[in-house]
Every structure is written in structure tokens, then in C-alpha cells.
Amino acid sequence: MTNIEQRPPSFMEIVARQKIGDKAAEWQFFKWERIGDTNDFLVGLGETRKLLSGKNKGKGTWRGTDGRMLPHGNAVVTWEEMEAAKAKYEADTGNCSVCGNTGKSFASWSATDGTKYRNCERCNGAGKAPIAGVEAKT
Ligand SMILES: [Zn+2]
């Protein structure tokens, strides 16, 4: 089974963190939803704590001991902002923004075969950004 070690970052999450600000650095993604028929998303990040008891002991939760949400924030992230974050990632790292330098993209999963991958279509399996001044190996 192929083990994918490097994945591209979540660009939606990157943009949301930038908008919510420094306090969101340690916060975890808890929701995203499309806004109407647009390509814009409402993204939520919030502080988490570990559950100390119960059947989910050790897992994280976004709720405090009183059941209320811990400090959290929402940000609207537009399609254009995600595209800009992808372009910046490719310019900064030289890696393909779809596969994150693995050259593979997810194809399917089943219990018998596990995860199957195929060559990433954006970079044709090279793992490198096809634009941003990066020379493709020939
Ligand atoms: Zn790729």
C-alpha cells in the first residue's frame, strides 16, 4: 500500500487562520459550509481541550466543561482567496498544490484494497508546481 507522507495543506484552513488572526494558531477546524449557491465558505475554528473521562476520553472537544463552545471564530473564505493561497503555496514551495509533492491523488478506498492513488492530474505525477517559474524535469 502506498504511504503518502506529504500532503498539501488545507487552503481553506490557511485563509481562515489568517482572517481570524494570531489567536487561531492553535485552534482546530470544526466546520465548513458553503454559503448558498456561491463558491464561498463559512469556516469555523475553535479552541479545543482533551476529554478527561467518558467513552471519548483522550479525544478533543470544542466544548468546555459547561457544555458551551470554547473560544472560537468564523471566517468567510472565498474561492478566489483559496486560489490565491494555492498560488502562493506553489510559488513559495515549488510543490504541486493538489498533491503536495507526492505526485499522487486519491482515487478510491475500500476495506479489501485500502486506499488507491492515481497520478496527480495537475502535475502529471511529478509533484512539482507546473507554474510559478519552476522548471519541469524533462
Ligand atoms: Zn500534483
Q: Report if residue 57 sits inside a domain.
A: yes
Q: Report if residue 3 sits inside a domain.
A: no
- Cα of 61 vs centre of ligand 1, distance in Å, is 33
- Cα of 32 vs centre of ligand 1, distance in Å, is 24
Predicted local confidence at residue 1, as pLDDT: 39
Three-state SS for the chain is CCCCCCCCCCHHHHHHHHHHCHHHHHCEEEEEEECCCCCCEEEEEECCEECCCCCCCCCEECECCCCCECCEEEEEECHHHHHHHHHHHHHHHCECCCCCCCCEEEEEEECCCEEEEEECCCCCCCCECCCCCCCCCC
Q: Which domain holds residue 114?
A: 94-138
Report angle CA 4, 9, 13 to the nearest 5 degrees: 140
- Cα of 20 vs centre of ligand 1, distance in Å, is 29
Provide the number of structural domains found in the chain: 2
Q: Are residues 105 and 86 in the same domain?
A: no
Q: Are residues 31 and 87 in the same domain?
A: yes
- Cα of 130 vs centre of ligand 1, distance in Å, is 9
Q: Report if residue 82 sits inside a domain.
A: yes
**10-residue mean pLDDT series, the chain (138 residues):** 58 94 91 94 95 92 95 96 95 93 89 91 92 49
Neighbours of ion ligand 1 (CB under 5 A): 96, 98-99, 120, 122-123
Q: Are residues 112 and 63 in the same domain?
A: no
